[in-house]
Amino acid sequence: MSVKKFGIKSLEEILFWRHLFFSFFSGNARCYNKIMRTFNTYSKLLAIFSLLLLQACTKASSFQTMNIMNASDSDLGSSAPAPTPTPSPDGIGTNRGIMWGINGHPYGGLSGGPYSSIDQQIQLMATMGIKHYRVDFYTADNASFTLVQSLLDSAKAYNITITPVLIPATGANEQASYNTAYALGQAYAAKFPGILAFELGNEENNSVLDPSGDHSNASDFTSASGYAAVRGKLRGLLDGVRAGNAKARGALGISGGCNVGFLQALYNDGLRWDITVAHPYDSWGDPENLTLTYDHSQANGSCAKSNMMAALASFGKPLWLTEFNYTPAVTANDKTAMGTGLQTMMKRFTSMAQKYDIEAVDVYEMFDEPAASGNEAYFGIFTSTGSGTAASTMVSNYISNNPSMIYPVK
């Protein structure tokens, strides 16, 4: 096609228009990408169409603080036909490698315990080649903020990314949940502009329905009594984080298993997150076929959407698998079996990364916690004093051969 048909006379003019569009729209990456694919035909006519596309895209992706109790059904998205999630331009297939990470509970540093030394935790991660630390926070107070800053200061020298998991209490109703969550999300995002991703809530589907069942459909959750309050919490966190820092990404998901109906319900109700999260412990079954156990040795129950990975990827966002471990070894407190199981799972995640756009994968967890009850005491790949085990060695060896990536905000 000749560009002269549309009044564009030279390559210089093409580059001028391209630069103009880049300068004006670079603040909205998703919309910009859509425009540039259209504009690459070098057509002024199609560029006008792209402007209309920008308006529609910006309107759909905007989030504003709302009073949920006074919002109309159309505000909440509940009366509109359920949208069908489709991959976004920066979604499936863009993976460049996995950001390997680990979970920890450094708030223990406020009162002693295995996580009392921030420097020890960061140095152990650096030695292993781990580049992501997932940590949980519940309140916006000075002690928590001081701890986050200590983590950031210590991690900076090793180029380790800190991702806070914000877990406010669920309120008595949707509006109460929203208000509390909004305040928490806004406070953290505004206080720490260098943190460009926050995980919002933790396994929130578990508080609505027993996660062991087949909950593939949105209606399974929307008909449950506790769903509205949890929806308010997650909507509040999303809105609060974006109000505090427009560049920050919000990560939101499920515990794992056959519970993708929770995400579909939230999507139908108008929530739009930036990263989809799940916790693919082996106990859920094969992540690509939940009707079989992880090792395919026996049946594992029914699930209408048995390919958990495909169901998660259908929302068109990068995947963060922010908890995993090999649970038989945890139960037996066998660190050699744990290491073998973790390596097998890491190989599987690596093999699936390109197909499902897996960005981050986090082992649960860094240290054993002897004071915890049941299996929670033995998830660590290190002992409670920070000594290495067969599990930490095997995880380290795998990362050495498959180095960790670092993902900036998209």
pLDDT, one tens digit per residue, over 221-277 is 999 999 999 999 999 999 999 999 999 999 999 999 999 999 999 999 999 999 999
pLDDT average, residue stretch 279-283: 98
For residue 162, report the phi and psi dihedrals to the nearest 5 degrees: -105, 125
* Residue 6 burial (CB count, 10 A): 14
Q: Are 334 and 114 in contact (CB under 8 A)?
A: no
* Residue 52 burial (CB count, 10 A): 9
* Residue 127 burial (CB count, 10 A): 12
In the chain, what are the domains? 3-60 (no CATH), 90-401 (3.20.20.80)
Strand pairing category for 275-278 and 249-253: parallel
Sequence letter at residue 193: P
pLDDT, one tens digit per residue, over 336-395 is 999 999 999 999 999 999 999 999 999 999 999 998 989 999 999 999 999 999 999 999
Q: What is residue 110's predicted lDDT score, i.e. its pLDDT?
A: 66
Length of the chain: 410
Q: Are 3 and 16 in contact (CB under 8 A)?
A: no
At residue 157's C-alpha, the angle toward residues 152 and 160, to 5°, is: 60
Q: What is the mean pLDDT of the chain?
A: 83
pLDDT, one tens digit per residue, over 183-226 is 999 999 999 999 999 999 999 999 999 999 999 999 999 999 99
pTM: 0.80
CB neighbour list of residue 237: distance below 8 Å, 6 or more residues apart: 166, 168, 181, 182, 184, 185, 198, 200, 201, 250, 252
DSSP state of 196: -
For residue 5, report the phi and psi dihedrals to the nearest 5 degrees: -60, -25
What is the per-residue burial (b if ≥16 Cβ within 10 Å, else e) of 99-120? bbbbbbbbbbbeeebbbeebeb
For residue 258, report the phi and psi dihedrals to the nearest 5 degrees: -95, 60
pLDDT average, residue stretch 310-321: 98
Residue 107 pLDDT greater than 50, yes or no: yes
As a whole number of Å, the end-to-end CA separation of the chain is 33
